[in-house]
Amino acid sequence: MVLDKLTNLKAYSKLIPKTDEILAAIEKVRAGEFTGSRLDIDGDSIFLLNQEYETFDREGRQLEAHRKYIDLQAVIKGEEYIGWSEVEGLTLASEEYSKGGDIAFYNEEPKIYIPMTEGAFALFFPQDAHMPCIKMGDSRKVQKVVVKIAVDLA
């Protein structure tokens, strides 16, 4: 897992391919030039998901992890907590890998909750289980982008 500000994203170019293109796509969302749900950066290898939602209580939420894609999650507007735990040692609740999907859910609570504010990003690798969309105080609207980066590119 990596936590930082988007202004520092280029420093991670050895971990993240096409950082210039990713930053340009995020800027399109931030500027309101892209309001759709998916923006391809490099086809199915790198793409951006534009999300708007109300944050949730921790209760009833599950940790998730992915094998095919690294998640770069960046808050555009609002704030939330993202829970985190290492996948090793977690109890699998359900998975979609066997059906061609890229998500598994786990029973345990996160080890830590990370405050994510505007301009912050987190990188979650396959060994990182995460629980996004958790409210900080009262529920509020969040706009976030999730850039999916194929593991075989990194």
Per the structure block, which two tokens stand in for 83? 């829970």
Q: List phi, psi (to 5°) of 31.
A: -80, -5
Domain limits, the chain = 2-153
For residues 13 and 117, give the distance between their C-alpha atoms in angstroms, rounded to a whole number: 22
For the cut 90, the answer to whether the pLDDT of residue 87 exceeds it is yes
Three-state DSSP at 136 gives coil
- Look up the pTM and report it: 0.95
For residues 37 and 109, give the distance between their C-alpha atoms in angstroms, rounded to a whole number: 29
Assign domain 2-153 one CATH number from 3.40.50.10240, 2.60.120.370, 3.40.50.300, 3.40.1360.10. Answer: 2.60.120.370
Per the structure block, which two tokens stand in for 64? 């998730």
Q: Which residue has the tokens 């590119």?
A: 153
Are 129 and 65 contacting, i.e. CB atoms less than 8 angstroms apart? yes
Per-residue pLDDT of 94-146, as tens digits, reads: 988 778 889 999 999 999 999 999 999 999 999 999 999 999 999 999 999 99
